[in-house]
Every structure is written in structure tokens, then in C-alpha cells.
Structure 1
Amino acid sequence: MPTTRTAGGRRVVITGWGAVTPLGLGVDETWSALVAGRSGIAPLTGVDTTGLGTTFGGEVKGFDPAHHLKPQQIRRMDAYAQYAYAAAGEAVHHAGLVLDDDSGPRAGVVIGSGYGPMAAHGRHFATLEESGPRRVSPFAQITGAIDSAACEIGFRFGVTGPTRALSTACASGADAIGEAAHWIRHGTVDVALAGGAEHILNRLDLASSGNARALSTRNDAPAEASRPFDTDRDGFVMSAGAGVLVLESAEHALARGATILAEVAGYASTSDAHHWTAPHPEGRGARAAMAGALADAGLTPGDVGYINAHGTSTQANDRTEVEAIRAVFGSHAEHVPISSTKSMTGHLIGAAGAVEAIAAGLAIRTSVVPPTINCHRPIDDALNFVPHQAQRHRVDVAMSNSFGFGGHNAVLVLRAWEADREQ
């Protein structure tokens, strides 16, 4: 098997990852909580929930921006960008990556977000209305830009290749990873920092999503509210956080002696062209994305040892995703573990695909599949939704699904690196 090239170009590997989630300030804390089946959902403390139908969510707890940022950066950066910056720092440190004047032009950054700097927009509009134009910060356009996270990360690490933002709703984090992988495959860059970030725990977005009947209203039991693939699910749980991965060409990673965590073997992105909030009733876009990602990886459904499902805990998504998995995987669907880590993190929106790709990679590395908690009455008894407790499975190939409002679908296929598969 070739080490550095496939028919589609250079091979793409993961050498570092970082996360900020409702479960922990880092990948290790987040993964430990996922394996333990611990929920990060609780009553909201940073939002005035008066009059809202949903009063809970997945807040990032204990995050101190001063541990990661200088005072002037804190003033100009929205929380979503701060989370991305911290996650990128962890990922780069984990990868042992150092960029200089020679390698900087061969590096890129792409950070996805569904909504971007919503908190900053709210603050600047409030200042304008309450105090007038002269009191508006000269950094308002910077703080309020969806590319602010990508730019700040690029500044920090001296990335002088392509630096971009990407927005495809709940598929943003997965699409960012997939597009960055394309850069590497086709020689645009050798290294990319890619992932997603979100912070939309505010009255406007909670009210809007609630009025769309998309959110769970289980206010009396927040930790039990996110229940993907459970018959009694009543909506998703909104959360905040970030996930960032270091991607490299296999050639570049091996040359610098980096530890390869997994390979980004396949990626596909589709659109439903159907409805702003509802998935296609036959799951056509989701099916096409899953099949396309497998074809891109040169793999078959039978090769997949774990599916990290989109699994939002809404009536429409969970039913449609199960039908799509069955359509693509056939009889193998009943033999592959399928879990939704959103049951514990809630829905990280634009960050979800990145954090879940990390979880899929860790399932490969540890042979542990995280559970779907709160799945008491599964909607399909023949499928293994890994209810309540983590399970041990050898996973050489993992699929991570991300499906978003607007009909965006993105699927990543990760594969164990050869040296790991031989053990």
C-alpha cells in the first residue's frame, strides 16, 4: 500500500487535535467524560432565560480566556473565536508542530461556524443603540466577522497560506476538515489547522430555535434532554465549544517524525435542496454523502467499524438518519456500533463535526466506542446504538456524519494508520 499517495492525490493524516466542550477544556477531559457517559447539559447560567421555552444547554464551564489570550485579543474576539483559538493551541501542541518563514506559506487554516460571532454582534448593536455611533468599537467589524477565528489562529502560528472561514450550518466543522484535506491532497498546502467553533447560547437563538420547535423543553431534567434515537426524544440541546485538528500530508508528517493519529481517508459533501430545517424525507443527501465518502476512501460499508452519527435528538433527523444508514449499509447496519455523542455534549452546531471527528479518531485509537446515553426506547431495536455505556470494539475505520439546516450534509471517513492496524 502506498505511503504518501492515493489515486486522488497525497494521503492526509491527523497529527494533533484540540477541543473545548461542555464536557471539558481539552480533548482528554472531553473523551474521559464521553467514555464515562457523563452529560455536559445543565441549566444555563450565562443567559437570561426569562420567558424562554428552554432554559438549559451545553455551556463551556471554567474557560478563562486569559489562559490563552492577551488582553487586547480578549477585547476583540468573540467567545466562539476564543474557543477555536484555545482548541487550535492544544492541537498544535499535541502535534508538536512548529511553523516558520519557510513552512508558513505551505500551511493553511479553515474554521467552520454555523453562526459565527453572535455575542459580539449583540454587544455592538446594544452599544450603538444605547450610547450612539461614537461609542462603537473600531474593532466591531473585526470582532463581528466570521473569519475572525481563522485569522487569529493564522496570526498566532504564522500561517501565510490560505486562511478561511466556512459556513454550512451544522456541517461546518466536518466540511472544514474535508476541504482542508482537499488542500493537502492536491498540494495546495502541506499542513492545515481545520475544525469548527460555535457560541450561540443567547436569548435570540434560543428563542428562534425554540419557536421552530427544534429544541428540547425538558427543563426539569436537562441531563436527560438530549436523547438521540430514543422514542421519547423531543428536540436537540444547544451547546457551545470548538474542535480543531492538525492535518498534514503523510509525507510531511513522516518526514518530521510526527505521531500519526489516524488518516482522513474519505470525505463527501452534498445538499438536499429540499427545506430550510427539515431533512429530505428519504434522506437522499445523507445517503449520497455517506456513499460518496466511502467511495472517496476506496472502502465499502463492511469496512466500517463505528459510525459517529449526527444524532441530534430531533424527531425528523434521527428517523431519517437511521433510514439512510440502513440504505447505505444494508445488513451490515445491524453489526456496526452507531452512537451519538450529542447525547452528552448537546449540539455544538458548527463545532459538532470537528469534535465528533475527534471522537471517531479516538474510537479508532482506543478500541472504545462512546455511548448514546438516554437511549431507553430505541427507535430501531435491531441497531446497536451503544446505549448508556461505552463498548469495546476494534475500529479500523470510523464514519462521522454531519447534517445541517439548509440541507447541508458532510461525511468524513477516518482510518487507522498502517502501523496501528498491524498491531
Structure 2
Amino acid sequence: MPDSVGRFNVAVTGIGMVTAAGVGTRTAWKVIKDPEGTAAAPVPALAGMPAEIGCWIPEFDAAAVIGRRKAWRIDRSSQFAIAAAAEAVADSGLNPAGWDGTRVGVVLGSGIGGAASWEKQHHVLLDEGPLRVSPLLIPMLAVNMSAGYVAMEHGARGPNLVTATACASGTTAIGTARDLLRQGVCDVVITGGTEACLIPSIITGFSQMGALTGRHTDPRAASRPFDTDRDGFVPAEGAAVLVLERTHDARARGARVYANISGYGASADAHHATAPEPEGTGAELALRAALHDAGISPDSVDHVNAHGTSTPLNDAMESKLIRRVLGDRPAVTSVKGVVGHSLGAAGAIEAAVTALTIDQGLIPPTANLENLDPQIELDVVSKAPRAADVQVAVSNSFGFGGQNAVLVFTKS
């Protein structure tokens, strides 16, 4: 591990969210902190499939939010990103009309990209022939386009990219954005993650591999992280976007700072395509690297926003990791009991919630946690939100391929 070069803080000055808990940060946060707030339901697009439930966003009206002309020609995943980014930029108080766009970057995460557009046009190809396939198919499905469209909306002409590390993608994006600020390449970075793939092909694939819950008759209770009766994750769609600036720049302009991001670490399990390394040894590398980067000792961590997928293997691994490295001191939560698992957007949504937790002094409960697995020896928040002065928090993300990413947040 390299020597620490001293803590480098970036400020979260804007947050935008599009989730099954609600469209808009205020709405989503209200539901996420509600112990009864769960968003899983039957998904019409999945009717008749082996898995028919998910955390989808029926109230998202793309035409109303981003305009009809834009909405019809871009994939739902990019629509989410545009909406969340618009909210985050407005929340930051920055004015794109006045900033130097060459110093503004966009880094988003997505695990799959425009899968819904690809599936729809594949049916067109088979049913109606090649001449009926949309000429917009490639820009609709390409994984990089969410960042491209956000840049177009805000005149952001700095580095522009999408990270794809499966379910760690959103966290990887935020860590990469912080690096751009640290290197002096950008002064502002719009960052986060987006995903919209509640479609038959993708969800059937997850179902066939045994990753999803079988509790289809009771969707609201299906996602139950750390519970003894957990049996798989509930798939979801959504997006979250953060505006990041160097903390001293944010303070200089009098910006509201939700929290600082003070550390980032990444690693690989090098173990298995879909299963985590059982003891979390690969994930531990990322966690320790993030703490080292932040210059923070493990015993200073107050809170962990866990990856907490509600799968038997992940929750067991993560609980061992947290206990081994951080002990039983941190209060742990998983928001996936409410918003499900949005794949490449999950880490970004959880980063947004972690920043809100620090800002609001309130840890959301883990929804549907009725009986804590006796093998999970952690202080898992459940039943009700918990008031807490969180000075240091960790947000974990782990993805297929054994890709791990961890962020350390500190109070401003």
C-alpha cells in the first residue's frame, strides 16, 4: 500500500435522485428513511417471466422531465441520468451558463447501458425486418451515452466517460471523479450512476443464475438484507448524480456541503465470475485502501452504508468483512430493502444516501429486517431511523467479476 499523501477532500454540493422511492432527492429520502418504505412491485414489462417483480419507477415521465423531443430518441437509462444531473446541478447552486465548461467533467457508472432499447429494436429486426430498425439504436444502447448527454445538457467539455464495474459502477465513477479533481484536471465533476434494464432478457438472465428472490407473491417484503430469510435480490432501476468540487473551492463560494468524500479504494477478488470471495479478502483490500487514502483509522468509522444485496452469499461475506476490519462499532444499514438493487446505479444511490445521512444526522433503517441472521454480528439499524452524529461513514460496493469499490465520507 502506498504511503498516505494526506487527506484530499472533495465536497458533495449537489444531489439528484431518480429511484423507486421517488423522483427527486427530497421525495426519495423521505421514503428511504421510513421503516415502512419499500418500493418493490410487479413490473408490467416482466409479466409472464420467471421473475415478475422489481423496484421500478412508474411515475417517471420523461417527456415532462426532459422534454418530448429528447425523450423519444434516448434510452431510459440516459433519461434518468439527465433528470438526476439536472437536479444535482441546480441543487449545487452552480450556473452552467457561467462556468468554464472545459474544467467540468462528467463521470457516470452503468453496468449494462441501453439494454431496453437494444431489446426493443431486436424484436423490430425479427418481426419487421432490418429496414425498420431505428437509426438511433447505437446511440440509444451505447453505455457511454448517458455521460455524453449529460455533458450536452450542461456544456461540460472536460473528461467524459462511463465506468462499467457491474454493481460497483456508480462507486467507481465517483472515485474516478474525485481523482480528476485531485489531479487538477477538473474544477467540477458531475458524477454518479444510472441503470434501466427491467426487461425480460436481462431479468430472466439473473433469474436463471439464481440471483433473484423467489418471494414474488409478497414483493414489498422480498428484499430483506441481513435477514435470516433473505433469498436473493430484487432488481431495480434508477439513478443518482452528485456534483463534486474541491472542498476549499466549495467553501470559498459559500456552497452548502452535504459531506466530504475523503477516501476511495478499489480492488478485485480474482476469484469467481459471480460469487464473492467468501471471506471478503478482495473487498478488504478496497476498504483498507479507502481508509488509508482518507488517513482514517478503522476504529473511527461511525457508519457503514452496506452493499447489502439481500443475497445469502453477499451479506454473509460483507458482514465478515465489516466485523473483521471495523469491528462492531459502526451502525450498518442497507437501502436495498427499500429501493432494490439497481446494479450500476446502486453505488451512486447509496453514496447520495450516505451524504444525506451525514448532513441530516439520521441513519435510515434496513427495511424488512425482521430476524437478523445470527451469523451477522453487526449493529444493523432496523425498524426505525436512528439519530446519529456521523463523522465518518463508509459506502461499500461489490460487483460481478469480483470488482470492489469503497468510498469514505466525512462530515464537513
Q: In angstroms, what is the RMSD of aligned CA positions?
A: 1.5
SS in 1 for 2:266: strand
Aligned pairs for 1:3-402 (under 5 A) are: 7=5, 11-50=9-48, 52-100=49-97, 103-329=100-326, 333-380=327-374, 382-402=377-397
User: How far is the alpha carbon of 1:305 from its aligned partner?
Assistant: 1.0
Q: TM-score, normalised by structure 1?
A: 0.93
Structure 2 residue identity aligned to 1:352: A
User: How far is the alpha carbon of 1:256 from its aligned partner?
Assistant: 2.5
User: How far is the alpha carbon of 1:8 from its aligned partner?
Assistant: 5.5
Q: Structure 1's 359 and 102: CA in aligned 2 closer, same or farther, altered over 3 A?
A: closer
CA distance in 2, matches of 1:324, 1:230: 17
Structure 1 stretch 248-257 or stretch 162-171: which is displaced more? 248-257
SS in 1 for 2:131: helix
Q: Structure 1's 299 and 293: CA in aligned 2 closer, same or farther, altered over 3 A?
A: same
Instruction: Give the length in aligned residue pairs.
Output: 408
Report what 1:3 is aligned to. none
Cα distance per residue 1:251-306 (max 9 Å; x no partner): 33233321111111000011111111100122111111111111110001121111
CA distance in 2, matches of 1:46, 1:40: 18
**2:404 is equivalent to residue 415 of structure 1:** no
**Is contact 2:250-2:257 (8 Å) kept?**
yes
SS in 1 for 2:66: coil
Runs ≥4 in structure 1, deviation > 6 angstroms?
Answer: none
CA distance in 2, matches of 1:95, 1:101: 14
Q: Structure 1's 284 and 10: CA in aligned 2 closer, same or farther, altered over 3 A?
A: closer
**Is contact 2:211-2:232 (8 Å) kept?**
yes
**Is contact 1:15-1:246 (8 Å) kept?**
yes
**Is contact 2:41-2:220 (8 Å) kept?**
no
CA distance in 1, matches of 2:171, 2:218: 30
Q: TM-score, normalised by structure 2?
A: 0.96
Structure 2 residue identity aligned to 1:294: L
From 373, 397, 401, the counterpart of 1:406 = 401
User: How far is the alpha carbon of 1:366 from its aligned partner?
Assistant: 1.4
User: How far is the alpha carbon of 1:9 from its aligned partner?
Assistant: 7.9
SS in 1 for 2:23: coil
User: How far is the alpha carbon of 1:389 from its aligned partner?
Assistant: 1.4
CA distance in 1, matches of 2:203, 2:141: 20
Structure 1 residue identity aligned to 2:47: T
**Is contact 1:118-1:144 (8 Å) kept?**
yes
CA distance in 1, matches of 2:385, 2:120: 42
Cα distance per residue 1:131-159 (max 9 Å; x no partner): 22222222111111111110110000000
**Is contact 2:119-2:201 (8 Å) kept?**
no
Structure 1 residue identity aligned to 2:385: A
User: How far is the alpha carbon of 1:335 from its aligned partner?
Assistant: 2.2
SS in 1 for 2:143: coil
CA distance in 1, matches of 2:332, 2:91: 28
| Percent identical residues | 41
User: How far is the alpha carbon of 1:102 from its aligned partner?
Assistant: 5.6
CA distance in 2, matches of 1:132, 1:364: 54
SS in 2 for 1:29: helix
SS in 2 for 1:223: helix
SS in 2 for 1:76: coil
CA distance in 2, matches of 1:336, 1:56: 32
**Is contact 1:277-1:407 (8 Å) kept?**
yes
SS in 2 for 1:220: coil
SS in 2 for 1:20: strand
CA distance in 1, matches of 2:280, 2:8: 31
